[in-house]
Amino acid sequence: MMAVMSRVEQMESELRKLSQAELRQIREWLDDVIEDELEFTPEFESSIGQAENDMAAGRTARVREPEGS
């Protein structure tokens, strides 16, 4: 009996064929899609305010950087 691959498994299989540059493009696109779908909840707005206060006080926020950049 042949196993049926899920859509995610199919995408993972295709992604493994891409170059590092292509994978970075996909990652940037996914980051944009996820960011666009964020809801401005009170907690999220509060975290933005805290980050702005930290920056104004000279404390830097931790920024996630992709490896190899």
pLDDT at residue 2 in the model: 60
pTM of the model: 0.48
- Is the separation of the CB atoms in 34 and 26 below 8 Å? no
pLDDT at residue 23 in the model: 95
For 30-53, what is the mean pLDDT?
A: 82
Contacts of 26 (CB under 8 A, 6+ apart): 15, 18
For 3-15, what is the mean pLDDT?
A: 89
pLDDT at residue 41 in the model: 77
Compute the distance between CA of residue 32 and CA of residue 25 in angstroms, rounded to an integer.
Answer: 11
pLDDT at residue 65 in the model: 63
Compute the distance between CA of residue 18 and CA of residue 22 in angstroms, rounded to an integer.
Answer: 6
Contacts of 20 (CB under 8 A, 6+ apart): 68
